[in-house]
A and B are shown apart, each in its own frame.
Chain A
Amino acid sequence: MKLLTHNFLSSHVKGVGPRGFPLRLQASEVRIMPVEFNPDFVARMIPKVEWAALVEAANTLSLGEVPTEPIQGYEQNEDFLRTMHHILLEVEVMEGTLQCPESGRVFPITRGIPNMLLSDEQTEA
């Protein structure tokens, strides 16, 4: 699971609503997977990202210094874009958990895949 993905995930436990974001990330295994750098893509994604959640997740994974706000003029700042590219796209959480901040419900991440199914849901095979 990439951090960009994590940024879009929100808890869907009943009654939780928008308080279910962001999911608290805990990782026991992380891998780095190189991805071709596309500065334009990163620059355009930055406004779509919930920054505070990203910072929190990056800090949990000890990914180094992430500014609390996107740098002024980030579109031209290649170093900054490369850093963000790495954090958003190249860090893969292989094993860990996502926790709903409101209800405490824990969703496991196994082999890179978070399982967000709620156990009381009917799932037909």
Chain B
Amino acid sequence: MSDIQEATNQLLDVNLHENQRSIQMTESGPGSESEHLQVTIGATVPTGFEQTAADEVREKLRSSCKISKDRGKIYFDISVESLAQVHCLRSVDNLFVVVQEFKDYQFKETKEEVLKDFEELAGKLSWSDPLKVWKINTNFKKKKTKHKKINQNSSKEKIDNGQGDKRDEKDVKKEFTNNALDSHILDYYEKPAIKEEISTLVGDDLASCKDETDESSKEETSPEVLKFRVTCNRAGEKHCFSSNEAARDFGGAVQDYFKWKADMTNFDVEVLLNIHNNEIIVGIALTEESLHRRNITHFGPTTLRSTLAYGMLRLCAPQPTDIIVDPMCGTGAIPIEDSSISPVHHPSFYLTVECLGKRKSCEALCSWMRGATEWANCFHIAGDNNPLAVNRAANNISSLLTKSQTKGKLSCGLPIDAIQWDICNLPLRTGSVDIIVTDMPFGKRMGSKKRNWNLYPACLWEMSRVCRPRTGRAALLTQDKKCFTKALSGMGHVWQKVHTVWVNIGGLHAAVYLLKRTPQAFVHPSEQDGGRTPW
């Protein structure tokens, strides 16, 4: 373990124990109990990537996972001390702590009876341990926000930007501003530790974090009226009630039980009621939906796209010194959240790549950075054809260089090398790349599906050229499955389809194709007939 990581872990332990002490003060429960608290955590993952997420959990938390039949969810047990590491998982979108699981819930016949049961259920569940976990988690978040604000303020001064605040998704889409991203990416580089989330607890303002703990413990001693909401997800054909009804009645009972205030938008506690056929899971959320909570710290892995990118890269099983080309395009300017940005201080770096016409999103940039941290012994390359995005990368790079030099500390090398290029015409040596991870153009935003008929073969062809024969592999995401399959069918001599993951994220029915490069060497068309496209 490197010095930095060790120091980080030590500091993390300190903070965690402080949190626990503060909780014990308020609840006057048995002291030693909370330290060894075992909880079941649930995590949502992009559907199709449950196994890769489970692998990551096993690798990082040494816990085995249960993969739910309710697609897109995995469950694992941890001790509360590991909570911070849980937030470092990159293949998961949202986390929650399980209050109770009912494997085979017996629904009564009528709606009235079912809803009555839900009302009674609220009072029967053991809430105290999950709520302890929720409190610890909330304390982490508070520190993180504070740290983030401090960083934003300091970066604001230095780079003289007007904006440190996060913006609405819409605004960013329109303006594609540099400001928010600059400060976010700069925060990124500020963080000294390896793990993004842990790192936010470390740093110059550790002292103020400690103050924060004292403050929050004072808050907890006074009776707190928390605000809450119940979110119900229901799937199954034989239910005689709707998710709204269940949420309403269950929520009503929760309100009576805890005397909390119900608030749909500005809540402290989000109670989850997940019903999948006969399986019911009651949980308390540990993360918030990034899309809806811009101004509140999103603690942990962020956007779906980045978790997907991570899952795709994991599928390719990167080996040390693999050359990874990941032109993961963004689908829009979803602002980067600080927490999503990992500090990278290993010698791997990125050039950003994007498929034709797609707007580069910084989130994709960051997902590559995360990938670099994870697979530090690999060399990551990506590229971008969009001048806006490239400009942004350039801004960040030069601001960073200036910043680190003025600070005078030996900071880590820049992991970003931004190159403007076009995926169908990569300026890369033949057979030099080990792994390709990309988001194929969907043909909706940028022209026609008809265009894909030419585009897809061109991309696949070019990728087969740069990809190393025999050992190379590619994970390609696309929504235009028909076109992809057709394009692939003509390339059996260079690409072999190994695996398909059907992905469904928020209605997006896409597929990730895992391809293996055949041993056949690429024959350069210029050696054939002088032309570049042999089809």
A contact set with B: CB distance below 8 Å: 1-2, 4-5, 8-12, 14-18, 21, 23, 31, 33-36, 38, 40-42, 44-45, 48, 50, 85, 89-90, 92, 94, 107, 110-118, 121-125
Contact = CB atoms under 8 A, between A and B. Distances in A.
A11 B397 CA distance: 25
Interface stretch (B199-207, B209-217, B406-414, B497-505): B406-414
Contact of A18 (B393, B394, B398, B524): B524
A111 B421 CA distance: 16
B240 interface: no
Interface stretch (B51-59, B116-124, B344-352): B344-352
Contact of A121 (B397, B398, B422): B422
A12 B420 contact: no
The number of chain B residues touching the other chain, given as a range, is 35 or more
B383 to A, nearest CB: 8
Nearest to B409: A34
Nearest to B400: A33
A12 B394 contact: no
Contact of B418 (A16, A112, A122): A112
**Most chain A beta-carbon contacts within 10 A, residue among B347, B390, B413:** B347
Contacts of A31: 401
Given A1-B419, A38-B346, 17 more contacts: A4-B379, A8-B432, A11-B427, A15-B526, A15-B530, A18-B430, A36-B412, A41-B320, A45-B321, A50-B429, A85-B347, A89-B413, A112-B397, A112-B417, A113-B394, A113-B418, A124-B447
A10 B429 contact: yes
A9 B411 CA distance: 27
A15 B429 CA distance: 15
A125 B421 contact: no
Contact of A113 (B349, B417, B429): B417
A36 B349 CA distance: 13
Contacts of A92: 401, 414
Contacts of B386: 125
B478 interface: no
Nearest to B525: A17
A68 to B, nearest CB: 20
A41 B425 contact: no
A113 B526 contact: no
A10 B526 contact: no
B420 A113 contact: yes
A42 B357 CA distance: 35
11 contacts: A5-B351, A14-B532, A17-B525, A33-B414, A35-B347, A38-B347, A40-B377, A45-B321, A48-B323, A90-B413, A116-B422
B421 A112 contact: no
A123 B429 contact: no
List of 7 A-B pairs having minimum Cβ-Cβ separation, nearest first: A35-B413, A124-B357, A111-B394, A17-B526, A44-B321, A113-B418, A115-B420
Nearest to A46: B321
B427 A116 contact: yes
B61 interface: no
A41 B427 contact: no
Interface in B411-469: 411-414, 417-422, 425-430, 432-433, 446-447
